[in-house]
Amino acid sequence: MLPLVENKEIIMKTNTIAVIGGTGKSGSYLVQALLNKGYSMKLLLRTPENFTLQNPLIEIVKGDARDFNAVNHLIKGCSSVISKIGQPVGEQSIFTDATKNVIQSMNLHGITRYIAITGLNVDTPFDHKNEKVKMATDWMYENYPKTTKDKQDEYEILNSCNLDWTLVRLPLIIPTSESFPTETNLEDCKGEKISATDLSEFLVSQIEDKTFIKQSPFLYNI
């Protein structure tokens, strides 16, 4: 009989995580956090040639999250999906299109756990945002009306779907390997930043954690 710790490691490595947005200023931290926990993963990348990390636990899928066939190829054979997708510069807002593809594919393959990130501007019925966060939300609508509305629509789509989703609302992401105390809150964001390392650790923890299923918590450093 194998020791318990080895059994646990084997079980973890059979869970393949589909990742959308595994590059960028914070995506690489998520990839590393998954590797640290022994998860294998499939990464959807528009430009795989720019991804230089080599690891047998990583499979690259070339494609765009707005292409259902690419998303479906990514998600097939996975146990959970994590999205850190960002808005491509100069392109049409991506969030609802990508989310619809993810939901359709997850339903097709019988996968239920979906974890994604979004901004402070997204409102939920449970909110009691402080004045600073309200001002930031108003500023986003004034300066980026289409993408801001698209993110709100993304929440509404998730809220009406049958997946076990968690949409994490974030302040400014700081690309650092440093870790700080964090706090979650369903009503208000009381911090102005979140470390990319702390964010990634939280997202990975949500694969098994059921605390925030069908909820949209704020996450921030304190």
Helix (H) / strand (E) element for 123: namely: none
Mean pLDDT value of segment 63-87: 95
What is the identity of the amino acid at 198? D
| The pTM of the whole model exceeds 0.85 | yes
In this model, does residue 115 exceed pLDDT 90? yes
d(CA 222, CA 193): 9
Residues 6+ apart with CB under 8 A from 5: none
Local structure of 50: helix, strand or coil: helix
In this model, does residue 219 exceed pLDDT 60? yes
In this model, does residue 215 exceed pLDDT 70? yes
In this model, does residue 11 exceed pLDDT 60? no
Query: Quick one: tokens of 79?
Result: 């146990």
Residue 46 neighbours by CB distance under 10 Å? 13
By the 8 A CB rule, do 161 and 103 touch?
Answer: yes
Residue ranges of domains in the chain: 4-221
In this model, does residue 218 exceed pLDDT 80? yes
In this model, does residue 180 exceed pLDDT 50? yes
pLDDT in tens, 24-67: 778 899 999 999 999 999 999 998 988 889 899 999 999 999 99
Q: Which residue intervals of the chain are DSSP H helices? A: 4-13, 24-36, 68-75, 95-109, 131-143, 145-159, 196-205
Confidence grade of residue 93 (pLDDT, cut at 50, 70, 90)? confident
Query: Quick one: tokens of 113?
Result: 């756990």
Tell me the CATH class for 4-221: alpha beta
Confidence grade of residue 4 (pLDDT, cut at 50, 70, 90)? very low
Mean pLDDT value of segment 204-214: 97
| 13-22, 98-107, 199-208: least confidently modelled range | 13-22
CA nearest to 195, candidates 73, 3, 15, 30: 30
- pLDDT at residue 27, rounded to an integer: 87
Confidence grade of residue 14 (pLDDT, cut at 50, 70, 90)? low
Residues 6+ apart with CB under 8 A from 92: 146
